[in-house]
Structure 1
Amino acid sequence: MSADDKYPEESGRRRFVKGVVGGATLAGLGVAGTVSVQSLTSASGIGGGPVEAMTIDRTGGPAPYGMPQVPIEIDDEGYIRGVWPEVDTEEVQGVEVEIAREELGGLQYSQEWFQYCGHQSYEGLDPNFDSDNYFKSDSAPGYDWQADVKDEGDRFHIDDFDDYEEWGNDVGNSGVGKPATATWRSEDTDNVIPVVIIRSSRMEEAAQESEWLDASTDEGVFAFVNKCTHFCCVPGYKRTGESARYNAEDRVYCQCHQSVYDPFNIVSTLYIALPRPQD
């Protein structure tokens, strides 16, 4: 397999998918170019354009970049919530607009990190959306432990992950990290923002060496938006044995077109955020 071949030979689908990806890449470039111009010259949307975000590392497959990390905090009672940036008013092209943006861990953290795959039009990305920002168990839990103890809408507590150094299922190695599937800023909305939460000793160790991770994770708990940057599918962490074919049994694997992400490697990524529609 050549260095440029994004699909393992055994997938049996490279020739077909490569054509699809090639077309998508060209289309994506066109969209990106349009977004860049619109963000500077058009009143058709708010924000958007080039943005530097912290993402889980894309390590294989056709996805162009990683999925954005959601900074987290644990409240005084032990419940886990995502950090939403402070909302401020800025003047853009002579018009005052509100945007959620703040300095965190030495970096600029912004709602624009999440403006892709249609999320830019979700109610939850309105800067002033009324949310408590807690992660809530989703309607179809991705793991047996979660299905056994959580109902839809339940919050997650740090104690839910107390066996993170031993937890395992039938996929990959045990003790790598205990996950849960959740929604964020999606109360009473038509569209939910899917999130994966993981607690791992790997992240605890990494946070000791990184100002950003020290500020955006807590007790080894971290989170990311779970929407593949390729065709906006919903990947899975330790969800299917098929992932082992692509050395992804302990990583995030998208079963649609075999994109692979390393959730324990958070990297800086430059991409084009799509503008939010105006009210």
Structure 2
Amino acid sequence: MPTEDDKYPESTGRRRFVKGVVGSASLAGVGTAAAAGINSTTAQTGEGGGTTQFMAMENTAGPAPRGMPQIPVEIDSEGYLKGVWPEVKTVTQGGQEITVAETELGGKTYSSEWFQYCGVQTYPGVKPDADQDNYFRYSGNSKFEWQNEEVSEGAKIHVDDFDDYATWGNGIGRSGLGKPAQGTWRSQDVPPSGKMPIQVIRSTRIEEMAKDNEWLNASTEEGFVANLNKCTHFCCVPTFKGLPGSSVASAENMIYCQCHQSVYDPFNIIQKTFVALPRPGE
């Protein structure tokens, strides 16, 4: 007889998880104001954090409480992709001077606090003045066959690797929606547990959307859009068109998190608010 832990069939790609998830997941519906109250009483002391507006790939289904934060993209003179890092400055917050990374971009306030959740607030790369070059680099053991066969782990992501983006397909969902890759950001010489996972997608849809959208015009380039690839539910690593089981959630053309079936739309970038966790103090 199947046990409680076996209630999700393997075909769904849904990871088994303990009952403790239920209590934690119930917090996903807590509003921003209530979350701020919880944060103020339970979060560790540190730098930065608090109620933050951010641009996100919209969460359209599943238990995730909000979208995944977008990373603005730029391409250098040699065709390598970089994530834009905000301007580093010193401000007074809570009566003390702290270092923050924040800048105005595309009519929005872009801040490193966008990425301070799911433990990422403790990662070396999220520190505003961390000594990192901001290039996106390929990760290993990708969900994408093309990436595993054609590029090397740790190599910088290059525009030429996506020449077939307008027609690319892998048998999951529709071909031609965009070509994805998985990587890391601001994570050179960082232990695996502290590497910031990212996903980039090059798509003709992004190119079209950026023509009449101030934010996307400033935050995407040549059809490339990127996100911090941490599901806002339980911090798993989702995938765009990388999991055959995504059809169970009608997400074969979306970003799908197999852990608990959250779905994100990479072609709908929206402004959201959440409570960013503080970075550990110096």
Q: Same fold (TM over 0.5)?
A: yes
Q: Distance in 2 between matches of 1:164 and 1:59?
A: 24
Check if 1:244 corresponds to 2:247: yes
1:31 deviates by 6.1
Q: Distance in 1 between matches of 2:223 and 2:41?
A: 40
Q: Distance in 2 between matches of 1:62 and 1:17?
A: 16
SS in 2 for 1:68: strand
Structure 2 CA distance for partners of 1:28 and 1:117, relative to 1, 3 Å:
farther
TM-score when normalising by structure 1: 0.89
Q: Distance in 1 between matches of 2:268 and 2:50?
A: 25
1:245 deviates by 1.7
Check conservation: 1:36, 1:50, Cα contact below 8 A. Answer: no
Which residue matches 1:6?
A: none
Which residue matches 2:149?
A: 148
Matches of residues 1-279 of structure 1 in structure 2 within 5 Å? 20-21=21-22, 23-26=24-27, 29=30, 32-36=36-40, 44-190=45-191, 191-279=194-282
Check conservation: 1:17, 1:257, Cα contact below 8 A. Answer: no
Deviation by residue 1:234-275 (Cα, 9 ceiling, x = unmatched)? 111111111112110010111111100101110101111001
Q: Distance in 2 between matches of 1:256 and 1:145?
A: 24
Q: Distance in 1 between matches of 2:18 and 2:169?
A: 32
TM-score when normalising by structure 2: 0.88
Deviation by residue 1:174-212 (Cα, 9 ceiling, x = unmatched)? 100000000000111121110000000010011012100
Which runs of at least 4 in structure 1 moved beyond 6 Å after TM superposition? Answer: 16-19
Count of aligned positions? 265
Identity %: 55
Q: What one-letter code is carried by the residue in structure 2 that aligns with 1:119?
A: V
Check conservation: 2:183, 2:199, Cα contact below 8 A. Answer: yes
SS in 2 for 1:232: coil
Deviation by residue 1:124-151 (Cα, 9 ceiling, x = unmatched)? 0111111110000112222111111211
Q: What one-letter code is carried by the residue in structure 1 that aligns with 2:37?
A: G
Check conservation: 2:143, 2:243, Cα contact below 8 A. Answer: no
Aligned-residue CA RMSD (Å): 2.4
Q: Distance in 1 between matches of 2:266 and 2:40?
A: 29
Q: Distance in 2 between matches of 1:17 and 1:267?
A: 32
SS in 2 for 1:194: strand
Q: Distance in 2 between matches of 1:31 and 1:188?
A: 34
Q: Distance in 2 between matches of 1:89 and 1:19?
A: 40
**Which runs of 5 or more structure 1 residues have no equivalent in the other structure?**
1-9
Q: Distance in 1 between matches of 2:212 and 2:249?
A: 29
Q: Distance in 1 between matches of 2:160 and 2:50?
A: 40
Structure 2 CA distance for partners of 1:26 and 1:246, relative to 1, 3 Å:
closer
